[in-house]
Amino acid sequence: MPLARLPVRAVQRGEPERPGHRTGAVLPDPHTRRVDRGAPSAGRGHRASRQRAGPPAGGAAVRRRSSALTEVREAPARQERKTATRVLVEHHEVLRGLLRKLTETPRSEPGRRQALADELFDELWMHERIEEDIFYPAVRDITPAIAAAWSEHRQLTDQLAAFVRADPSRERFDRELGVLHDVLVSHAHLDEELEMFPEVERFADADLLVDVGDRLQTRLEQLRSSQRIRAFLRLQRALLRRTAR
């Protein structure tokens, strides 16, 4: 069964608006004394003598309350904006980390192996979605490598399905993992990080790269937090493993 071609890509297409960055307004200090410049000198002297006599009773408490009112709470810092290529490279690192953990986990721990395989399946599926739905369309006029990237995604999808079908306690699991590792490294590192991404960074508008990076991050977070997507991926894994019996 083709892995990523089922009609789920309409799910989570909408992207929520980014939250605004607001700064609280400074309230006026109720104890700021207005100077009456038109008052006679006697009045000014009278007020001065009253001020020298000390503040009215309870003045300290009032000042504390006014200080609390005028204190401005700083707005939380906006999340750092990343370029599209940086977002994708960081997610490549997530995928490579899962491959590394799988390689280091022995056959004597099939439960952990399957849990890691499930996580890799989900993350790689989501990675393909954000690249195909957002990044590739945004840069297709900048680099000619997009056509090859789509073809490599089909190869990745097929190998990921073969890997998930394998029993984590058997030797075949290790063989399929090795092939998946080679295909993923060839696509993500050699073709994208060393060739496509530098070309995009050289010729694409800087604002475009940041805007696309925002969209990639938002979509990835949406996919990860969507219960519908998680249920869909669980069903996909179950169907693939059922066909392996």
Query: Domain residues of the chain, as ranges?
Result: 84-243
Whether pLDDT at 37 is above 50: no
pLDDT at residue 240, as a whole number: 94
Q: Please state, in angstroms and rounded to a whole number, the distance separating the CA atoms of residues 24 and 47.
A: 35
Average pLDDT for 3-32: 41
33 pLDDT band, cuts 50/70/90, is: very low
pLDDT tens digit sequence for 139-180? 999 999 999 999 999 999 999 999 999 999 999 999 999 999
Instruction: Give per-residue burial for 76-105: e unless 16+ CB within 10 Å, then b.
Output: eeeeeebbbbbbbbebbebbeebbeebeeb
34 pLDDT band, cuts 50/70/90, is: very low
Average pLDDT for 59-86: 58
> What pTM value is reported for the model?
0.68
pLDDT at residue 7, as a whole number: 41
pLDDT tens digit sequence for 195-214? 999 999 999 999 999 999 99
Per the prediction, the chain carries an average pLDDT of 79
172-181 long-range contacts, CB within 8 A, separation 24+ = 173/107, 173/113, 173/117, 174/107, 177/99, 177/102, 177/103, 180/99, 180/156, 181/99, 181/103
Segment (H or E) for 147: helix 146-165
pLDDT at residue 59, as a whole number: 52
pLDDT at residue 115, as a whole number: 98
78 pLDDT band, cuts 50/70/90, is: low
